[in-house]
Amino acid sequence: MTKPKNAQVLHGHQLETNQALSADVVIIGTGAGGGVTAEVLSKAGLKVVMLEEGGYYTAKDFRMLEGESFTRFYYDVGARKTKDKGITILQGRMVGGSTTVNWTSCFRTPPETLAHWTKVYGLQGFTEAQMAPWFDMTEKRLTILPWPIRNSSNDVLYRGAKKLGWHVEVIPRNVRGCRNLGYCGMGCPVDAKQSMLVTTVPAALANGAMLVAHTRAESLEINGDRVVAVHAVALKENAADPTGVKIRVEAPYVVLAGGGINTPALLLRSKAPDPHQRLGKRTFLHITNASTAVMPEKVIPFDGAPQSVYSNHFLYRDGVTGKMGYKMEIAPLHPVSTTVNTLAFGQEHADAVARLPHLSAMIALMRDGFHGDSQGGTVTIADDGSPVLDYPMNDYLWEGLRSGYLSMAECQFTAGASRVVVSHLDAPTQGYASWSEAKKGIEALPLKVLRAQIWSAHVMGGCAMGEDPKMSVVDSRGKHHQFANVWIIDGSTFPTSIGANPSLPIYAMAARQATALAETAGKKKSAA
């Protein structure tokens, strides 16, 4: 589905005068949480206004060029950084949020995670059985099905894991009519990816919702225990600088869906009540390291679905709350992502990146937040109000990353790699030549911030759900503990990381929360 005719859409960078809008519900953010919420609430007959910081780009804008994509579709040109710059965060900033530029891998929240939330955080309604109908519904809505085609780069993980007797499984993807192009990260040029951009957001628009893009929510206007309005600023084409035009939206219900960095930052800027100092705490990232195999044959890592197989062999290597576990996946490689992440310079760099057609990059995503030594990061705001995420590293996390380097290198050599390059400043740029050399080398690597290269594409936590207000920001329905009319429906409400790519866990959780909210807000509306 594309943008319906007569859709009410405002673009901040084109607005010339201040706007005063009103609605039954204002939703801040149009990603996995906001998109689903907008469809559910608008379908229930509620008048919805969606605010989105990024631009409204559609298939015709998706020219599969990295330069254009990183600048327009991602926060901080695809390199949002933690406070000490030790972690690079890939986060979408556009209508549809990260769902528009993600790699389409969809996993249900693991039963281990749901059981942990129920047991440790007292969540209600989040058992595997209680969540199953929401997952069923979402998988149907977004055509989430196992993807049977495996490109050569994913085949490296598949072959290596099979030979080693490790778990390896096919990835379900939210696509319909996918052409297997391999450019998911730059926006789908054929509208095959069932992102929020082509599903829930246009459905909400067709239901009469209004979308205000290129507009950043700056603060919440608070009166007693209620938020009475949202104050936003129109943004220039770069979705970074305000134009000077202001937008005020009044609504009896407010849904925050900006994700694990932006949602706590908005609440902090608004000086929202936080009696137990929980706001912006325990932010999780699935911190991720990488290992690149140089294969004797061409693998063409820029061609074909970016991710089609995964291994959970090490996800629970020491139980749910033991040593850091990690999920293993493949990452696509294109010219900019390959060359920017190869940190050598000069001839050494030129020679290393010229091997691109032979490269296959593997990633290990750490399941953070389940052990006492994994408390995640903390979001605060800088003097100018912009979010700052401090994510301190420690021995527990480094041990997980080192183990991840080892598993990836072992898998790649087993699959026939001639060399393996791990994402670390002190590892040889041309790569280790054998598994035994890699093992020795990796065990000796100094694991320090900005020596080990670490990424994240999954921001979670910071406004945790829980029934105990001392430990959480919202209750199990997503309702804010202190505000009577504010809901948070995005990945920020997860009490830990997911342990799998979080898009489907956010969609299904949002469907559940929004359905209950539609009932609450709908009753109020018909009573009025």
Partner 1 sequence: MNTPITSMERQFDADRRTFLKVGVAGAALLFAGRWLPPARAGLASAGQALAFANLSPADAVALERIIPVMLHGALPQDEAQRQAAIGEILHGIDVTIGYQPPAVRREIRDLFGLLTKSVTRVVVAGVWKSWDRASNEEIQKFLTGWRNSRFGLLRSAYVGLHDLTVGSWYANPRSWARLGYGGPPKIA
Residues in touch with partner 1 (CB under 8 A): 63-67, 70-72, 75-77, 79, 84-86, 179, 181, 183, 189-190, 238-241, 302, 334-336, 338-340, 343-351, 353-354, 356-357, 382, 384, 386, 425-430, 444, 446, 449-451
Closer by beta carbon to partner 1, 128 or else 437: 437
297 φ/ψ angles, rounded to the nearest 5 degrees: -95, 165
Closer by beta carbon to partner 1, 42 or else 338: 338
| Sign for the pseudo-dihedral over CA of 294, 300, 302, 308 | negative
Closer by beta carbon to partner 1, 195 or else 476: 195
| Type of residue found at 92 | G
Closer by beta carbon to partner 1, 64 or else 115: 64
- Least distance (Å) from partner 1 to the CB of residue 242? 10
- Least distance (Å) from partner 1 to the CB of residue 5? 24
- Least distance (Å) from partner 1 to the CB of residue 59? 10
| Type of residue found at 252 | P
* Residue 507 token pair: 């969609």
* Residue 502 token pair: 């979080």
Q: How far apart are CA 201 and CA 23, in angstroms?
A: 16
- Least distance (Å) from partner 1 to the CB of residue 141? 26
- Least distance (Å) from partner 1 to the CB of residue 346? 4
- Least distance (Å) from partner 1 to the CB of residue 102? 18
The b-or-e profile of 333-358 (16+ CB within 10 A means b, else e) is bbeebbeebbeeeeeeeeebbebbeb
Closer by beta carbon to partner 1, 321 or else 429: 429
∠ CA 356-362-368, rounded to 5° = 145
Closer by beta carbon to partner 1, 79 or else 222: 79
CB 203 within 8 A of CB 30: no
Q: How far apart are CA 92 and CA 112, in angstroms?
A: 28
487 φ/ψ angles, rounded to the nearest 5 degrees: -115, 145
- Least distance (Å) from partner 1 to the CB of residue 350? 3
Closer by beta carbon to partner 1, 163 or else 298: 298
Which alpha helices (DSSP H) does 9-107 contain, by range?
32-43, 66-73
Closer by beta carbon to partner 1, 340 or else 471: 340
∠ CA 333-336-339, rounded to 5° = 85
Closer by beta carbon to partner 1, 77 or else 132: 77
* Residue 184 token pair: 């998911």
CB 356 within 8 A of CB 306: no
- Least distance (Å) from partner 1 to the CB of residue 473? 25
CB 223 within 8 A of CB 232: no
Closer by beta carbon to partner 1, 251 or else 442: 442
Residue 387 parent element (H or E): strand 387-390
Closer by beta carbon to partner 1, 240 or else 516: 240
CB 143 within 8 A of CB 104: no
Instruction: Name beta bridge partners: 461.
Output: 283
- Least distance (Å) from partner 1 to the CB of residue 470? 33
Q: How far apart are CA 140 and CA 235, in angstroms?
A: 36
User: Exposed, middle or buried by CB within 10 Å (0-12, 13-18, 19+), for 434?
Assistant: middle
- Least distance (Å) from partner 1 to the CB of residue 87? 11
Residue 456 parent element (H or E): strand 454-456
Place of tokens 């063409």: 300
Q: How far apart are CA 93 and CA 461, in angstroms?
A: 18
CB atoms within 10 A of CB 407: 23
| Nearest partner of 511 among 40, 26, 169, judged by Cα | 40
- Least distance (Å) from partner 1 to the CB of residue 136? 33
Closer by beta carbon to partner 1, 95 or else 427: 427
- Least distance (Å) from partner 1 to the CB of residue 285? 18
∠ CA 139-137-170, rounded to 5° = 20
